[in-house]
Amino acid sequence: MNILVINCGSSSLKYQLIDSATEAVLAKGLCERIGIDGSVLTHTPAGKDKVKIETPMPNHTVAVKLVIDALTNPDHGVVKSLDEINAVGHRVVHGGEKFASSVVINDEVMKAIEECNDLAPLHNPANLIGINSCREIMPNVPMVAVFDTAFHQTMPEKAYLYGLPYEYYEKYKVRRYGFHGTSHDYVSARAAEILGKTRNDLKIIVCHLGNGGSVSAVDHGKCVDTSMGLTPLEGIIMGTRSGSIDPAICDFICQKENLTPAQMNNVLNKKSGVLGMSRVSSDFRDIEAAANDGNQLARVTLDAFYYSVAKYIGAYAAAMNGVDAIAFTAGVGENNISGRVEIAKYLGYLGTEIDLEKNNVRGEDRVISTEASKVALLCVPTNEELAIARQTAALVTF
């Protein structure tokens, strides 16, 4: 079965066509600047050259149509016709409390996703536009929504409630939801598999460290806590997001700098994190290079980032009363060799020992701790698209 995986943003659309039997990626691509001048589709068929198609995309429906044309094109296509696209899996950012797992999309589901728009005003409306466009162009193809929040729905109340008046939860559903759930689910399962064990027997901490980052505690297969909150702003220091700060800072800075709450929100999301701290870049490679060149602010920024991750690992080891495995994933987690060493330096009290030779790896499934280590450390590349394709195939088959 061929599954088209769609990740739709407000002006972009990423896709992969995956053969669910072999799990091979047949083609992948990206539509950029949808609804803006200079729209472009970059299509990469497996084993063939990349194709760039520059043509106006006034809306997402046109973009989806172009994607289907690219996938079925006689030269750079990978299937003969739309009939060979058997299902579509959509990444949906926020499922609120309504969705604890993936679901086959129908009108009722669309309405329920729309009801979550308030919780993710930048993401959910774009996801819905993507689904609507696909339904318009492929009315007979079954579609599945896979939510970033679903895996975290097993968190107990004590983990998801904030120390706020309860009425905000009752009235507005203000609580911790967590994000990157598809990745935390996939990576924790994969970590168990690499260790030759079942996830239901393990306490696993997943550190998803990308441009956005989050840490989660997966206790016997269930997420019991995660660092992101009502929005993806909470938790560890990130590329451009502040992570957790004293909430009183917002009012303080708003007054000093004459900012509105919306402007402050923008600072916290786009101008903070390692970018704001280092004044170098949001990209960890640039900051590492600057630190190695003697830039002290870059060095302190990296130290603060590793420290913030280590503190969450400590918190989640406490939350689960122990930990068997700690898995590093996403851009920084998979590739930043020295970063994993720096984080591991904080974990000696757990009996953790990193193996410097095994750790000398980028983007590869591997145990990176010594045989003697009491807690297994792992590098586990995430694959959210494959996870979405698997969940889609499972729901469409049954």
Interior angle at CA 214, CA 344 and CA 177, nearest 5: 145
* Residue 329 token pair: 């994933």
Q: Using the rule CB under 6 A, which residue among 93, 332, 343, 375 binds ligand ADP?
A: 332
Q: Which residue of this chain has its Cβ atom nearest to ligand ADP in the complex?
A: 331
Q: Using the rule CB under 6 A, which residue among 212, 229, 235, 243 binds ligand ADP?
A: 212
Cα separation, 395 vs 143, whole angstroms: 9
Cα separation, 52 vs 29, whole angstroms: 10
User: Quick one: which H or E segment has residue 350?
Assistant: none
- Residue whose C-alpha is closest to residue 299's, from 353, 339, 243: 339
Nearer to ligand ADP, 225 or 288 (CB): 288
* Residue 205 token pair: 């901490």
Cite the DSSP H helix spans in 145-238: 157-160, 166-172, 181-194
Binding mask 333-352 for ligand ADP (x = CB under 6 A): --xx----------------
Nearer to ligand ADP, 90 or 241 (CB): 241
Neighbour count for residue 188 (Cβ, 10 Å)? 27
CB of residue 290 vs ligand ADP: minimum separation in angstroms? 12
Residue in the structure block whose two tokens are 């007054």: 255
Nearer to ligand ADP, 283 or 324 (CB): 283
CB of residue 218 vs ligand ADP: minimum separation in angstroms? 19
Residues 58-77 that bind ligand ADP (CB under 6 A): none
> Known catalytic residue: 148?
yes
The answer to whether the beta carbons of residues 323 and 314 sit under 8 Å apart is no
Cα separation, 215 vs 316, whole angstroms: 9
Q: Does 331 bind ligand ADP (CB under 6 A)?
A: yes
* Residue 284 token pair: 């960890």
CB of residue 232 vs ligand ADP: minimum separation in angstroms? 10
- Residue whose C-alpha is closest to residue 353's, from 366, 336, 367, 334: 367
Q: Does 239 bind ligand ADP (CB under 6 A)?
A: yes
Nearer to ligand ADP, 19 or 148 (CB): 148
Sort 161 into a burial class: Cβ within 10 Å, 0-12 / 13-18 / 19+: middle
Q: Binding segment for ligand ADP among 20-28, 101-109, 191-199, 325-333 (CB under 6 A)?
A: 325-333
Residues 82-101 that bind ligand ADP (CB under 6 A): none
Nearer to ligand ADP, 78 or 277 (CB): 277
Q: Does 285 bind ligand ADP (CB under 6 A)?
A: yes
CB of residue 233 vs ligand ADP: minimum separation in angstroms? 14
Q: Binding segment for ligand ADP among 7-15, 18-26, 220-228, 281-289 (CB under 6 A)?
A: 281-289
CB of residue 240 vs ligand ADP: minimum separation in angstroms? 10
Neighbour count for residue 385 (Cβ, 10 Å)? 22
Largest Cα separation within the chain, whole Å, is 61
Spot the catalytic one: 49, 107, 148, 324: 148
Residues annotated as catalytic (active site), given as ranges? 148
The site for ligand ADP (CB under 6 A) is made up of: 210-212, 239, 283-285, 330-332, 335-336
